Amino acid sequence: MELINATAFVTGANRGLGREIATQLLGRGAKVYAGVRDPAALDLPGAVPVQLDVTDAASVQRAAEVANDATLVVNNAGIYTRERFLDGDTDLIHREMEVNYFGPLAVIRSFTPVIEANGGGAFLNILSVVSWFHPVDFGPYAAAKAASWALSNATREELAPRGIAVSAVHVGFLDTEMVAHLEGIPKLSPGDVARTALDGLAKGENEILVDDFTRSIKASLS
């Protein structure tokens, strides 16, 4: 996909990886809508702030009506609650699925007619190595990312006839607030990950495996 003339909508663009992706898309010549929960607090020069909570279907639909020239949507917003399956808080486990799986599904459903009407384009879904690797402390989060892997694969087939590609980014730990509590482990720079993700998207890759660990886990599946 050509990014220079793209109009992108990035969810969770105010911080972390989403902010890097939005910044680099602007740098590559795209128009960028920043989908954020609190537009008044956004500090991202050049981007157009749009209110968005991915768990609120009406907010997602309104965002799709505002960003009606979008050709690329980056499903980046996500949470990691640190809950486990057996002793974790049930409401938080549900919330993890709402934000990380039902959120992207709502975004895909609302933005598909928009991208199609604009002549086609792509969804870029930010997933994780834990789509395929399920350590105890990441159980519910991993379940949501595994579900979003299935979502990415099935919608890729469903959307191809409508001229819309679906790329999924899988990656290990990033140096963002999400895992700031995990010390003493290597973490990737969000800037490097954003670059690899956008390069993969530009090349039309369906699945973008960012780091060696993620590649080795994926290779071990078969």
Binding site for ligand NAP (CB under 6 A): 11-12, 14-18, 37, 52-55, 76-79, 99, 126, 128, 171, 173-174, 176-179
- Give the residue closest to ligand NAP by C-beta: 16
Choice between 104 and 121, CB closer to ligand NAP: 104
Q: In angstroms, what is the minimal distance from the CB of 192 to ligand NAP?
A: 13
Q: In angstroms, what is the minimal distance from the CB of 206 to ligand NAP?
A: 18
Q: In angstroms, what is the minimal distance from the CB of 1 to ligand NAP?
A: 20
Report the candidate in 9, 2, 197 with the shortest Cα–Cα distance to residue 114.
9
Cβ atoms within 10 Å of 100's Cβ, excluding its own? 27
Structure tokens at 78: 């996500």
207, exposed or middle or buried, with CB in 10 Å at 0-12, 13-18, 19+?
middle
Choice between 20 and 165, CB closer to ligand NAP: 20
Choice between 6 and 168, CB closer to ligand NAP: 168
Structure tokens at 170: 């899988």
Q: In angstroms, what is the minimal distance from the CB of 160 to ligand NAP?
A: 24
Q: In angstroms, what is the minimal distance from the CB of 46 to ligand NAP?
A: 17
Which H/E stretch holds residue 9?
strand 7-11
Choice between 163 and 213, CB closer to ligand NAP: 213
Q: CA-CA distance, 6 to 203, in Å (whole number)?
A: 14
Choice between 116 and 175, CB closer to ligand NAP: 175
Q: CA-CA distance, 73 to 40, in Å (whole number)?
A: 21
Q: CA-CA distance, 174 to 181, in Å (whole number)?
A: 12
Cβ atoms within 10 Å of 137's Cβ, excluding its own? 13
